[in-house]
Structure 1
Amino acid sequence: MTFSADRKVAVVLGTRPELVKLAELIRLLGPAARVVHTGQHYDDALSGAFLDELGLPEPEYLTGVGGRPRAVQVGSALAALDGLFAADPPLAVVVQGDTNAALSGALVANARSIPLIHVEAGLRSHDRSMPEEHNRVVIDRLADVLCAATPENRALLLAEGVADERIEVTGNTVVEAVRDHLPPARERARLLGGLGLTADAYVLATVHRPENTDDPAVLAAVLGELAALSRTLPVVLPLHPRTRTRIDAAGLRPLLDGLTVIDPTSYGTFLALAREAALLVSDSGGVPEEATVLGRPLVVVRRSTERPEAFADFAELVAPGPGIGEAAHRRLAEGPDGLRRLAALPSPYGDGSASRRIAELIAGVVPRGAAGAAGPAPLLAA
């Protein structure tokens, strides 16, 4: 599939997960891709280094967005994106997921009558306390093409009254992302050796969501459970900058003493650690998807989830507190047999062809130019 370089598609993103999940689609778009980074993740360890690792082109960067309150982020990104698209209108706009960057891109595309493609449409936690839930619902209402990862996502959209012809089940691009960036076994063994770890004999944890970090008591409960778990197996914790700041502000640094704390990792390093872990503990939205591709058990520390497909076999959902340790020990007790069972299961998120399917959908988008414009202006080069 080759795209014409003179037909630009704006891919609006602003966080590390968006970079990961849109990388293959951007590569398929080739010179037609116009990547706009809002800077929502403004720490180089979370975004900048990923561009090199993922082989992505240097984006157009917005300024004054990262690290600010949600409303200010969206407002600043809206103004900047509107200026960019007024000066050089893209043929279409692609956004992924439910971030403030995605919402900003969707709103500007709608205001400028530019076709909008929403990757990972139809996720619902039904938890109105989550800003992401509001973002994803609004984006789905605005999108012209809704790329649902699973049939369940499609069913949710239909139940909300979204027209069937706007929805396509594509699979989730996370499947190809994991397959493309998981280091080979020899490299994984070398990484574990450098950290003094043994395959299938440690826990990998990530904590960063506001619901687990903004309240010092909740954060202390989560870290305390991880510390208790470390008395059974080593617990590796790549420490998110946000979480580090909250730990220091709350005086909780002693709770890290029993953990193997490391800096945020590259995507490949994270996948290597996840693939060889006996158990994952995380509050991330994307890790449940990745766990299904890697065949690893997971304890999700959240009040709700928008990815129920992962919980049939791979994951358990628990609130902060004693439930973390209880669920962790339950999954660890399954031992090697449990790991083999999960490794044999297919991921519910597709076959690894989602990016290609989405690229084909983009190629069929009809630009909304002046009234009376005749027919599509195809993206595909002859």
Structure 2
Amino acid sequence: MTSEVAVRVENSSPTFLSANRRAVAVFAGIRSQYMKLASLQKAYFQSSDLSLIFIDTGQHYDDVLAKQYIEEYQIHFDYSLNCGDKTMSSTEVFARMIVECENILRKIEPSAAIVFGDANSTLSAALAARRLTIPLIHVEAGLRTNSSTSEELNRVIVDRISQLHIASTKKDYARLVHEGYEATSEYLGDLVKDLAANYTTQNLDKKENKVLVSIHRDENTRNCNLILSILGELLDSNFFIHLITHPKVAKRKEFQNAHILKHEKVTVTPSLPHHKLLKLMWKCKFCVTDSGALQREGFYVGTRSIVIQESPFWPTLTDAKYNIKVNPGDCFKSKISEIEKPFDGYIDDFGSGNVAEEILNFVNLWVNKNVES
């Protein structure tokens, strides 16, 4: 593999580079990271003292899961590394991303690098940056589920090797302090909250008798029994269902042949543009999901979630009983009446709603103070 994998991308929103502004590389490669990047770029192209270079690792090779979000938000990339390949294992793609991230960093020689979240794309870019002694900034630092998943491993390692930790929640910041990262940590909030701002002020009483279901994690999709069981219990409770299916689930014969999917109250789609997804969640009575993104975005639009995870990604929401946790395989139906009750608590977390601007300003100050010319 050589640096020729990197392809220069030209579009109508060029990155502004100048001799007196230090460049910072920003890496993304999966759906949830594209959402954060869309929020960051909106603020960046309006006004910023930073020079950012945007790099797509291409971890997702599926256009349904990746390209539609890039096009929807007109996300700009200076370089696309095209590392995703459906013929390769996730480990092979991970190794390829490390090599290509290092190659592109050698080429552009940034003053620092920014990574988001906990995907393989995150860890590959982080390892490449630190191998080249490039200061590393981790956005969405401090999240822990105390699980044995690859995401947990990724986020712990990235926090360990980062020089600046930007937390999305107060709980994540407190965890960073507990782990000894107080001197390098800052709580600024969640970038995706900015994207959901249009729905947070609308009338939240306009709910339909509909439930959004999206389940994709490996522990929940080794077979289709869990998903089909949940659909059955929701139908028994007389809900209309909008099911979003992951490609790995949709291609299975037992899923394709399931009679329940032909029920008049079940709508099945492979994916939705983000704005349509937010609007759908806003209209639904609740969500059933194992997606960390949907758990949090549902909160922003005023829709609670039954979370099918032993260790939910956003304990702020489950601890407050806004979202209700169910271990995979445990009784699901008993939680339906609980999730339909009005939430009378208060959650002050995830930032002010101008998170992108705050992150850009803070990173600019940090780079000027801590990174030598």
Residue of structure 2 aligned with 1:199, choices 177, 185, 207: 207
The match for 2:282 is 275
1:227–1:260 CA distance, 2 compared to 1 (3 A)? farther
Q: After TM superposition, give the deviation of residue 310 of structure 1 in Å.
A: 0.9
Q: Percent sequence identity over matched residues?
A: 27
Q: After TM superposition, give the deviation of residue 347 of structure 1 in Å.
A: 5.3
CA distance in 2, matches of 1:80, 1:375: 24
Aligned length: 347
Structure 1 residue identity aligned to 2:302: G
Mapping for residues 230-379 of structure 1, pairs under 5 Å:
230-231=235-236, 232-245=238-251, 247-248=252-253, 253-258=258-263, 259-311=266-318, 312-321=320-329, 323-332=331-340, 334=341, 338=342, 341=344, 345-346=346-347, 348-366=349-367, 376-377=372-373
Structure 2 residue identity aligned to 1:257: K
Equivalent position SS for 1:260:
strand
- Contact 1:38 1:66 (C-alpha < 8 Å) held by counterparts: no
Q: After TM superposition, give the deviation of residue 364 of structure 1 in Å.
A: 2.2
Equivalent position SS for 1:95:
strand
Runs of 4+ in structure 1 deviating by more than 4 angstroms, as ranges, are: 182-186, 249-252, 374-377
Q: How big is each residue's C-alpha offset from its partner over 1:180-202, in whole Å with a ceiling of 9 and x where there is no partner? A: 5x59979x9xxxxxxxxx83311
Structure 2 residue identity aligned to 1:23: A
- Contact 1:81 1:108 (C-alpha < 8 Å) held by counterparts: yes
CA distance in 2, matches of 1:252, 1:138: 41
CA distance in 1, matches of 2:217, 2:76: 29
The match for 1:44 is 63
- Contact 2:323 2:339 (C-alpha < 8 Å) held by counterparts: no
- Contact 2:55 2:77 (C-alpha < 8 Å) held by counterparts: no
Q: How big is each residue's C-alpha offset from its partner over 1:210-244, in whole Å with a ceiling of 9 and x where there is no partner? A: 1111x21xx31232222221231111112221221
- Contact 1:206 1:284 (C-alpha < 8 Å) held by counterparts: yes
Q: After TM superposition, give the deviation of residue 115 of structure 1 in Å.
A: 1.6
1:305–1:66 CA distance, 2 compared to 1 (3 A)? farther
CA distance in 2, matches of 1:66, 1:123: 28
- Contact 1:183 1:272 (C-alpha < 8 Å) held by counterparts: no
Structure 1 residue identity aligned to 2:124: S
Structure 2 residue identity aligned to 1:238: I
Are residues 1:125 and 2:134 paired?
Answer: no
Q: Which ranges in structure 1 are unaligned for 5 or more consecutive residues?
A: 189-197, 369-373, 378-382
Scaled by the length of structure 2, the TM-score of the pair is 0.85
CA distance in 1, matches of 2:78, 2:321: 38
CA distance in 1, matches of 2:163, 2:371: 16
CA distance in 2, matches of 1:375, 1:327: 51
1:51–1:59 CA distance, 2 compared to 1 (3 A)? farther
- Contact 1:183 1:268 (C-alpha < 8 Å) held by counterparts: no
Larger CA deviation: 98-107 vs 26-35 = 26-35
Q: Which ranges in structure 2 are unaligned for 5 or more consecutive residues?
A: 1-14
CA RMSD of aligned residues (A): 2.7
1:223–1:320 CA distance, 2 compared to 1 (3 A)? farther
Structure 2 residue identity aligned to 1:174: V
Q: After TM superposition, give the deviation of residue 324 of structure 1 in Å.
A: 2.2
CA distance in 2, matches of 1:119, 1:112: 20
CA distance in 2, matches of 1:170, 1:82: 28
Equivalent position SS for 1:23:
helix
Equivalent position SS for 1:364:
helix
